[in-house]
Amino acid sequence: MRAAVLVFPGSNCDRDMAVALKAAGAEVEMVWHKDADLPLGVDVVAVPGGFSFGDYLRCGAIAAQSPICKALVAHVERGGYALGVCNGFQVLTETGLLPGALMRNAGLKFVCKTIGLEVATSSSAFTEGYSAGDVLSIPVAHHDGNYVADDATLAKLRDQDRVAFHYTENPNGSTADIAGILSENRRVLGMMPHPERAVDAAHGGTDGQALFRTLVGQLENV
């Protein structure tokens, strides 16, 4: 399975994402934001956490306009997989690949801690390794993770079983405790918590491992 990790000048979880994907058995290539094309044969594009362009404007807004994001959109339109974590989730909403927006945390402060994350659906290449209702320990670290969408979108997300994760204790004010959502074809996952920070017993626990292993396993068999 081949994964591409996008690198914006302010990405700072790109290495962590690559480490987690490699540990799960993926071949990983880092792709610079100025590139117009993804490497050939990429199965999944990972958009990592960080502060892509400083995020002085809306988080992810400038990144969404970069050449590589046009290639990302084309990849998804072709039915490719994508995973956006934290700033990556923000970028995915800004590109329109996922609905809704991430606003400033309700508490107005940056929040970094390990939280309880409830798996809301096991029906996706990302979450098949879990059972719905499982509660994982996964770190969050963000200033703008407050998920907001209009009622129609929320209803659609619910009806189509596209909420991937809920917070057990909402750290940022997200509507309906939503921590991660899937695209309509279930091949794009955006989530604020950092599963790549939970793939190693000595750092943050191992509850994120199954996400990467399942994803790699699923795509190996395609």
Question: Should residue 206 be labelled a site residue for other proteins when binding is judged by CB under 8 A?
Answer: no
Q: Note if 196 is an active site residue.
A: yes
Q: Which stretch binds other proteins (CB under 8 A): 54-62, 67-75, 93-101, 116-124?
A: 54-62
Residue with the two structure tokens 């970069």: 66
The letter for the amino acid at 188 is V
- Token code pair at residue 106: 């309700």
Pick out residues in 6-35 that bind other proteins (CB under 8 A): 9-10, 12-13, 15-16, 19-20, 34
Pairing assessment for the beta strands 163-167 and 111-119 based on DSSP bridges: antiparallel
Smallest separation, CB 147 to other proteins (Å): 20
Whether 81 and 187 have beta carbons less than 8 Å apart is answered as: yes
Q: Note if 86 is an active site residue.
A: yes
Smallest separation, CB 109 to other proteins (Å): 5
Measured distance CA(47)–CA(11) in Å, rounded: 9
Residue with the two structure tokens 């987690």: 20
**Nearest C-alpha neighbor of 129 from the set 177, 164, 158:** 164
Question: Should residue 51 be labelled a site residue for other proteins when binding is judged by CB under 8 A?
Answer: yes
- How many C-beta neighbours within 10 Å does residue 58 have? 15
Number of residues that bind other proteins (CB under 8 A): 32
Question: Should residue 41 be labelled a site residue for other proteins when binding is judged by CB under 8 A?
Answer: no
Q: Which residues are catalytic, by number? A: 86, 194, 196
Contacts with other proteins, residue ranges (CB under 8 A):
9-10, 12-13, 15-16, 19-20, 34, 49-51, 53-56, 109-113, 139, 141, 143, 194, 196-197, 199-200, 202-204
